[in-house]
Structure 1
Amino acid sequence: MKETAYHHGDLRNTLIENGIELINEDGVGGFSLRKVAARCGVSHAAPYSHFKDVQELLSAMADHVTSQFTESLRRSVEGDYAPQEAMNRLGTAYIAFFQQHPAYFPFLFFQSGITIQVDGEIDGAPPYPPFAVFRETGIRLFRSQGLPEETDGKMLLAFWSLVHGVASLLTSSGIRYSGDWQEVWQTILHSGGDMHENDRT
């Protein structure tokens, strides 16, 4: 069992980080404030000084990951980068984020309950923030390549499946690879020209 060290004054983040680890292990059905408290080595009452119930902790966990993920992607494309370089940097940041925080991947995409609408909005709601950065970067690339707007959804899925696939593999406990995961992304990215050309036909 992995535990995030608790430092006095940082209980909220400690509960969040340990909560992410715990829910990945036990699922939502086995998740409770009591179990998170025990994992952190604090009293059963301690979490209630930060969260009124387990749902509030779950929301805080999702916000915690989402805000960091969004900021990482935004920073990667800040600056006057050409569209292809921006996509390169974005994919690199995407993979690096989950290399640094492997527990975030299964939590975010299998436990947090997020919904991502690739080709539009969900009942007028704003898009999931990290994907909004990805979408904006992708569409800028597609316009620079002369691709029509009607292919945006398909092309976004194509690029996302590449970088997301690498992130999924590297965070899978049963998969071992002795090489550099970033080089895998670079290989995929730079061999993708045929895909772009084919989409124009």
Structure 2
Amino acid sequence: MNQKPYHHGDLRNTLIETGIELINEDGLGGFSLRKVAAKCGVSHAAPYSHFKDVQQLLAAMADHVTEQFTVSLQASVEGQEDPMSAMGELGTAYIAFFEQHPAYLPFLFFQSGITIQVDGVEEGVPAYPPFAVFRTTAYRLFRSLGLPPERDGTMLMAYWSLVHGVASLLSSSGVRYSGNWQEVWQVILQSGGTENETDRA
């Protein structure tokens, strides 16, 4: 079995990153602290100094990705006064995040158990932070274009499908593409999808 070296004092993050890789390979049913420890090359008892059980490790893994994703998206729109430019930068950051961390996407959307309420916020369920940034940026764009609020849900899903589709493709181990993924997003932006929707509204 391949063992992953870790830096002294950084075992917690190593367990988290290794856990993300392992759960993508084996699924939730084959996931355990013992297997993560073995892949890290540490004793079976070592993870318990950071996590009381596998559920706590899973929660830490989800928080680890969510926090980084949120910070990346927030930074991309900070200071962007033009709504269209903000959406362009947001999409660029979204794609770049998963380019840098391709293992994060399958974990986040298929293994972590996150819930994303697209149409507003369900009572008692906080908005998923990265998507909240995406939705706020999108609604700002829609208002600037004069789109009627009743179109928000459809337009939001359209934009999310476009940027997430690019991110999903680049994160897939079975997809081979020699081009620049960011250029794909720029082509999508330049195609004027929202402007076409404005004409139909």
Instruction: Classify the TM-score, shorter chain.
Output: over 0.9
The corresponding residue for 2:151 is: 151
Does 2:112 correspond to 1:117? Answer: no
Q: How does 1:13-28 map to 2 (within 5 A)?
A: 13-28=13-28
Deviations 1:144-190 (A, max 9, x none): 00011111111110000000000000011111111100000110111
Question: How far off is 1:194 after superposition?
Answer: 4.7
C-alpha distance in structure 2 between counterparts of 1:109 and 1:171, whole Å: 12
Aligned-residue identity in percent: 75
The corresponding residue for 1:32 is: 32
C-alpha distance in structure 2 between counterparts of 1:180 and 1:3, whole Å: 32
C-alpha distance in structure 2 between counterparts of 1:85 and 1:141, whole Å: 9
Equivalent position amino acid for 1:195 in 2: N
C-alpha distance in structure 2 between counterparts of 1:199 and 1:123, whole Å: 33
Q: Secondary structure at the match of 1:126?
A: coil
Equivalent position amino acid for 2:198 in 1: E
Question: How far off is 1:120 after superposition?
Answer: 1.4
The corresponding residue for 1:11 is: 11
The question of whether the paired residues in 2 share the 8 Å contact of 1:70 and 1:129 is answered with yes
The question of whether the paired residues in 2 share the 8 Å contact of 1:2 and 1:21 is answered with no
Question: How far off is 1:53 after superposition?
Answer: 0.1
Does 2:132 correspond to 1:132? Answer: yes
Mark the runs of 5 or more structure 1 residues left unpaired by the alignment.
Answer: none
Q: How does 1:1-201 map to 2 (within 5 A)?
A: 4-191=4-191, 192-200=193-201
Q: Secondary structure at the match of 1:96?
A: helix
**Under a length normalisation based on structure 1, what TM-score does the superposition of the two structures give?**
0.96
Deviations 1:32-88 (A, max 9, x none): 000000000000000000000000000000000000000000000000420000000
Equivalent position amino acid for 2:128 in 1: Y
Equivalent position amino acid for 1:78 in 2: E
Give the RMSD, CA atoms, in angstroms: 1.3
Question: How far off is 1:126 after superposition?
Answer: 1.8
Instruction: Report the number of matched residues.
Output: 200
C-alpha distance in structure 1 between counterparts of 2:105 and 2:3, whole Å: 18
C-alpha distance in structure 1 between counterparts of 2:89 and 2:138, whole Å: 12
**Under a length normalisation based on structure 2, what TM-score does the superposition of the two structures give?**
0.96
C-alpha distance in structure 1 between counterparts of 2:166 and 2:43, whole Å: 39
The question of whether the paired residues in 2 share the 8 Å contact of 1:66 and 1:130 is answered with yes
The question of whether the paired residues in 1 share the 8 Å contact of 2:3 and 2:41 is answered with no
Task: Out of 17-26 and 190-199, give the one that drifted further.
Answer: 190-199
